[in-house]
């Protein structure tokens, strides 16, 4: 267990768990917490036995109820730009992680909390969770990637409805519109997130990392460039022990033992 002030990071193998831990502020993401999240992503990247990661919040009330409004209220324009860039940069580290990251949304995921869940590769939500981007109700806009990632995930019309109304939706509606991948009873949430990740991390780790990279990079490209990127990543994997092992195991009718090399 690595020690942070506002986070708990359990570098379990193969699945690490990061818990946002500011329950008296509904796990609101202040600057200190964002900086710690950035550091935690680095520790997860370096930890060899860790193949995937769950991000969740302490308690049953909140995953994270947003950026810290008390802190935002005091920002001037230049500081606000810098804060937005910090949040974006830290969440991009989550999105670019070669190790798959699953958000286990245990309660409110609002504003920056929802944006953090959007930066994760997959989302499992408790049936009691509530999600939304209420920034316009505060006179601002989502500034940690929400206006960029939400339309890509659920389509422009649905994204604009959520962003412009600022309304919260419940977990069932979030599941219906594709904002979350799976639902779980609150007591089963972490187990369900772990089950999902365990299926993923049983696969070739290099292939999982490059699949994430291909999808992520491809999103920002026109189709021919995206296809070329996919072909190159496919080619790189042909040089890996993992590909030889995966294919030999299939032909020899046994389970693969991937080394991540
Ligand atoms: N930033 C800072 N503090 C926050 C916070 C946030 N985003 N969200 C909640 N808190 C704090 C509250 O100020 C309160 O602190 P206090 O006990 O010192 O007064 C504590 O967390 C509990 O929140 P409270 O509002 O009393 O709980 P609730 O159950 O009545 O309401 C919410 C829950 C999530 C509906 C409500 O807290 C809320 O609307 N939060 C803000 C959500 C938001 O707009 N996020 C986007 C920010 S850009």
Residue 98 predicted with pLDDT over 90: yes
The span from the CA of 103 to the CA of 246, in Å, is 28
Say which residue the tokens 């699945």 belong to.
15
Residue pLDDT, tens place only, 134-174: 999 999 999 999 999 999 999 999 999 999 999 999 999 99
Closest Cα to atom 15 of ligand 1 = 25
Pocket flag, ligand 1, residue 65 (CB < 6 Å): yes
Please identify which of the residues 79, 135, 192, 245 carries the catalytic annotation: 135
Six token digits for residue 136: 């316009």
Q: How sure is the predictor about 52, in pLDDT bands with cuts at 50, 70 and 90?
A: very high
- Strand spans (E) along 115-200: 122-126, 130-132, 169-170, 182-184
In the annotation, is 79 catalytic?
A: no
Q: What's the mean pLDDT when you consider all of the chain?
A: 97
Pocket flag, ligand 1, residue 143 (CB < 6 Å): no
Bond preceding residue 82 cis, omega within 30 of 0: no
SS3 178: coil
Q: How sure is the predictor about 104, in pLDDT bands with cuts at 50, 70 and 90?
A: very high
Q: Could you give the dihedral angle defined by the CA atoms of residues 250, 252, 258 and 261, in that order, rounded to the nearest 10 degrees?
A: -100
In the annotation, is 89 catalytic?
A: no
CA of 114 to the centre of ligand 1 (A): 14
Whether the Cβ atoms of residue 111 and residue 67 lie closer than 8 Å to each other:
yes
The span from the CA of 195 to the CA of 181, in Å, is 13
Return phi, psi of residue 3, to 5°: -100, 125
Residue 1 predicted with pLDDT over 90: no
Closest Cα to atom 8 of ligand 1 = 65
Residue 16 predicted with pLDDT over 80: yes
Choose one of 22, 66, 165 to mutate for the ligand 1 pocket test, by most ligand atoms within 8 angstroms of C-beta.
Answer: 66
Residue 2 predicted with pLDDT over 90: no
Closest Cα to atom 4 of ligand 1 = 25
Cα angle: 52, vertex 45, 100; to 5 degrees = 25
Please identify which of the residues 13, 48, 79, 115 carries the catalytic annotation: 115
CA of 89 to the centre of ligand 1 (A): 24
Per-residue pLDDT, 3: 75
In this structure, the number of other CB atoms found within 10 A of the CB of residue 216 comes to: 14
Residue 223 predicted with pLDDT over 90: yes
SS3 124: strand
Per-residue pLDDT, 208: 98
Choose one of 20, 25, 111 to mutate for the ligand 1 pocket test, by most ligand atoms within 8 angstroms of C-beta.
Answer: 25
From the alpha carbon of 133, which atom of ligand 1 is closest?
A: 46
Is 87 buried (19+), middle (13-18) or exposed (0-12) by CB count in 10 A? buried
């Amino acid at each position: 267990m690595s020690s942070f002030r506002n986070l708990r990071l359990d570098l379990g193998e193969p699945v690490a768990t990061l818990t946002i831990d500011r329950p008296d502020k509904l796990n609101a993401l202040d600057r200190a917490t964002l900086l710690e999240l950035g550091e935690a992503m680095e520790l997860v990247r370096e930890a060899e036995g860790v193949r995937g990661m769950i991000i969740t919040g302490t308690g049953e009330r909140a995953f994270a109820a947003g950026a810290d409004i008390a802190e935002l209220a005091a920002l001037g324009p230049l500081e606000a730009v810098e804060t937005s860039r910090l949040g974006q940069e830290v969440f991009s580290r989550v999105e670019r992680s070669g190790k798959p990251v699953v958000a286990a949304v245990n309660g409110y995921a609002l504003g920056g909390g929802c944006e953090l869940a959007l930066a994760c590769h997959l989302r499992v939500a408790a049936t009691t969770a509530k999600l939304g981007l209420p920034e316009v109700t505060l006179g601002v806009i989502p500034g940690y990637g929400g206006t960029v990632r939400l339309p890509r995930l659920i389509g422009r019309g649905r994204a604009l409805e959520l962003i412009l109304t600022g309304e919260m939706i419940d977990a069932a509606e979030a599941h219906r519109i594709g904002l979350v991948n799976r639902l779980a009873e609150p007591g089963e949430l972490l187990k369900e997130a772990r089950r999902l990740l365990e299926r993923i991390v049983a696969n070739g780790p290099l292939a999982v990392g490059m699949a994430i990279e291909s999808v992520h990079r491809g999103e920002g490209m026109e189709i021919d460039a995206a296809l070329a990127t996919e072909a190159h990543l496919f080619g790189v994997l042909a040089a890996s022990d993992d590909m030889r092992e995966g294919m030999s195991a299939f032909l020899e009718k046994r389970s693969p033992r991937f080394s991540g090399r």
